[in-house]
Amino acid sequence: MPRQPSSNTLTSVRRESSLRGQVALITGATRGIGVALAQQLATQGCDLILTGRSQSALARIRRELSRGKRRILAAPCDVRDPRSVDALFRATRKQFGRLDILINNAGIAHPNLAIEQLPFALWKDVMATNLDGVFLITQAALPFMKRGGTIVNNLSIAATRVFAGSAAYNASKHGALGFTNTLREELRPKGIRVIGLLPGATDTDIWKTLWPQAPRRKMMSPKTVAEAVVCALALASGATVDTLVTASSPLSRM
């Protein structure tokens, strides 16, 4: 069963712990859960590496979060492209030289289509972003991480459930869960924690593609998810949450 700490426990942990001075990299940091994570980690005093495909959006977020003494590297990166990933980590090495927290958050969905109607090009794009991107970023990040570091992979509840019409999205998230579980076992002896984040329905722009008519007023806010992640990150070094599930009100199609 996934381990889901109570809100009282998480609040207590957050008050007692500090992430100040840790270096955190967030992919897909220009909107939704990614922006909320950047905001929450900034309030914790983390130095930030923010990535996304939009240079203008990254610049805007950097301006928003640049108050205070924290260092922020906002660099565009296409997680599907090994050369783009290499460029990101060259910049990371130059400015920080280390990485304490990696959050693989970048992801895309596709319109509701039966398998016989799903174009192969769309299948490949979803798999490249949601699965290949997690692999490429993680592999490049590992040389920067030491004992005590944490990797969080944003998987979605689609990693354990199946939704008709979302074959590529389902497959990419199921694959990312298998990757996450394997990564956890490989890194456990090295003292690097790996957390699989499985948010329920969250009010982000991905619904414009996945289900435009979704009742977003019933969903969790990205801030709620981000706060749960920060609490899990702040656990003492001898503890971890392998799977973090955040839930919203049930939706008829979810």
Quote the distance between the C-alpha of residue 189 and its chain's center: 23
Distance CA 1, CA 10 (A): 18
Q: Does residue 220 sit in helix, strand or coil? A: strand
More confident residue, 2 or 238: 238
Q: Indicate the residue type of 171.
A: A
pLDDT tens digits, residue range 210-234? 667 766 677 788 899 999 999 999 9
Active-site positions?
169
Please, what is the angle between helix 32-43 and helix 55-65, to 10°? 30
pLDDT value, residue 201: 72
Domains, the chain? 7-246 (3.40.50.720)
What value does the mean pLDDT of the chain take?
A: 88
Residue pLDDT, tens place only, 105-134: 999 999 999 999 999 999 999 999 999 999
Map 51-114 to HEC letters: EECCHHHHHHHHHHHCCCCCCEEEEECCCCCHHHHHHHHHHHHHHCCCCCEEEECCCCCCCCEC
If you compute the radius of gyration of the chain from its CA atoms, what whole number of angstroms results? 17
Q: Is the pLDDT of residue 203 over 70?
A: no
Beta carbons within 8 Å of 72's beta carbon, 6+ residues apart: 47, 48, 49, 50, 62, 65, 66
pLDDT in tens, 11-21: 444 444 479 99
The residue with greater pLDDT, 7 or 230, is 230
Distances (CA, A) of 233 to 65, 132, 242, 253: 20, 24, 11, 31
Phi, psi of 199 (to 5 degrees): -75, 145
pLDDT digits (tens, 9 = 90+) for 30-76: 989 999 999 999 999 999 999 999 999 999 999 999 876 789 999 99
Q: What is the pLDDT of residues 135-173, one digit of tens each?
A: 999 999 999 999 999 999 999 888 999 899 999 999 999
74 pairs with which residues across the strands? 50
pLDDT value of residue 205: 67
Query: What's the pLDDT score for residue 7?
Result: 45
